[in-house]
Amino acid sequence: QSVLTQPPSVSGAPGQRVTISCTGSSSNIGAGYDVHWYQQLPGTAPKLLIYGNSNRPSGVPDRFSGSKSGTSASLAITGLQAEDEADYYCQSYDSSLSGSAVFGGGTKLTVL
């Protein structure tokens, strides 16, 4: 059972918009810790997609965006493309775990 809760799967057709939620609690997201998002393509290492709730590292397309409110965060992907099919993970920190890093369980995005 992950500290951060994500839906196991989401899907969308090419060109559509999908969102992935990440629900935490008052000891992690709700405590003010930033949320980061990672994309893991099949057979590869995770790649930083969004940092600090809503910022994109250089090279990440602006089709990817993040937001945070209260004890939850969301990743939105617009103009869905076949190459977006991957696993997506949210990550934050948790004060009840001595400030340790915590991950969501991951969401498998299927492009129909």
Residue numbers at the binding site for another protein (CB under 8 A)? 2, 34, 36, 38, 40, 45-48, 51-52, 55, 57, 87, 89, 91, 93, 97-106
Give me the least distance between CB of 17 and another protein, in Å please. Answer: 24
Give me the least distance between CB of 51 and another protein, in Å please. Answer: 4
Nearer to another protein by C-beta: 13 or 98?
98
Beta carbons within 10 angstroms of residue 39's beta carbon: 20
Nearer to another protein by C-beta: 80 or 88?
88
Give me the least distance between CB of 13 and another protein, in Å please. Answer: 26
Give me the least distance between CB of 33 and another protein, in Å please. Answer: 9
Nearer to another protein by C-beta: 69 or 100?
100
Pair 7, 28: CB distance under 8 Å: no
Beta bridge partners of 50: 37
- CA dist 7 → 17, 57, 73, 98 (Å): 16, 24, 12, 26
Beta carbons within 10 angstroms of residue 80's beta carbon: 20
Pair 27, 98: CB distance under 8 Å: no
